[in-house]
Homo-oligomer: A and B are copies of this chain.
Amino acid sequence: MALIFVTGNRHKFEEVSEIAENQGLKLEMRELACREVQADELEEIARQSAIDACASLGKPCFVEDAGLFVQALRGFPGPYSSYVFRTIGNKGLLRLMVGVSNRQAEFRSVVAYCKPRGKPRVFTGKVKGSISLETRGTQGFGYDPIFLAKHIGKTFGEMKISRKNKISHRGRSFEKFIKWYLRTH
């Protein structure tokens, strides 16, 4: 039986499916109209979303919430990365960083799994890097073309899914989640 991934983002689903299938786990994408809560911590948002999605479906399922945290911008765009991308985009973010020497940033991903009458389980993944001076690459989605992975010299936009999954925040959170899931189910 396929495990339900509640998301409206096909790019995310494709990335994660590759990780899951390598472990022999099949995923099913499901879009729900649940509202996320506002919070400065991804964990809190994902946890609540998993509870709501599970209540709405009446079945075990998981959600994922991710964000880009830029040090010089006090963590902006952080938990609101998706909204910020839809409005000011990579162009806006690069503009905020013009002349800023501290370009350190971190991508974070939180997977939250919940089953009926159960408490949500949360798995996090992080990857350190920096904001590039201009967009590079056309792969991935969102902030990928401006995020330079540490010690690699390439942006996530210049990597194939399989390469990105090996080092990315999402690859890490899902690896933890899938390992736990396969051990306990």
Contact = CB atoms under 8 A, between A and B. Distances in A.
Contact of A74 (B35, B74, B87, B95): B87
A6 to B, nearest CB: 15
A109 to B, nearest CB: 17
Contacts of A20: none
A66 to B, nearest CB: 14
Chain A interface size, as a band, is: 20 to 34
A133 interface: no
A80 B87 CA distance: 12
A76 interface: yes
Nearest to A69: B87
Interface string A7-36: 000000000000000000000000000011
A40 B95 CA distance: 23
Contacts of A98: 95
A88 B83 contact: no
A3 interface: no
A83 B80 contact: yes
A57 interface: no
Contact of A38 (B35, B74, B75, B84): B35
Interface string A28-53: 00000001111110001100100000
B35 A37 contact: yes
Contacts of A75: 87
A53 to B, nearest CB: 14
Nearest to A92: B96
5 contacts: A38-B83, A76-B83, A76-B84, A95-B96, A96-B96
- Cβ-closest 3 pairs across A and B: A76-B87, A35-B37, A36-B38
